[in-house]
Amino acid sequence: PQTIHDFGGFPQALYDVRYPAPGSPSLAYETKRIIKKAQVGLDDQWGLDHGTWSVVKHLYPKADVPVIQMSIDYTKDARYHYELASELAPLRRKGILIIGSGNMVHNLGMIAWDKLDTDSYGFDWALEANEKMKKFILSDDHASLINYKAQGKAFDLAIPSPEHYLPLIYSLGLKENQEKITLFNDKAVAGSLTMTSLKID
């Protein structure tokens, strides 16, 4: 799959990145077969956009692990995505790594560009939303995260559009009851982003 640079206004080094990971048609077909809640289309031309390669290249820098990328229909609500995630569970149980790539707090329109190099700088609303999200995550309160539009102004600012938030919902939808969540990389960036990540095992 080609490396897609679907963004603008960032340093040239990002546009120079190539991540030549192989695809996996067999995994793509298996994924299509097990999903019943949505109609799945297969595309062997699109490639890997930055939502995939910007994360996976740090995990597998040699690009020697097959990767498929799933798109998200952000016209559907969070409950739909949470339920759809459960249909992917058989893949995870077979040992396939599923990554939900995004940012819990992601408001590019309010970035403090002059604070981009300041370590862990977040606006009050971004920090408030991030703390509430972490509390909900660690207490397995998935309902509050699914119902994110009812969580107040901080959440409204943190999630102006859902495409960066919904991968979290997929990750939580895949969590088994006995599994534990570990948070890491918990810091704010440029005021209106957080890089807080979680691992489920």
Q: How far apart are CA 126 and CA 9, in angstroms?
A: 23
pTM for this model (two decimals): 0.90
- Summarised one tens digit per residue, pLDDT across range 38-84 is 999 999 888 999 999 999 999 999 999 999 999 999 899 999 999 99
Residue with tokens 């981009």: 116
Q: What is the mean pLDDT of residues 126-148?
A: 97
Angle between helices 124-138 and 166-173 (to 10 degrees): 10
pLDDT at position 59, please?
Answer: 95
Q: What is the mean pLDDT of residues 156-180?
A: 95
> Going by C-beta distance under 8 Å and a sequence separation of 6 or more, which residues neighbour residue 164?
102, 103, 104, 106
pLDDT at position 45, please?
Answer: 87
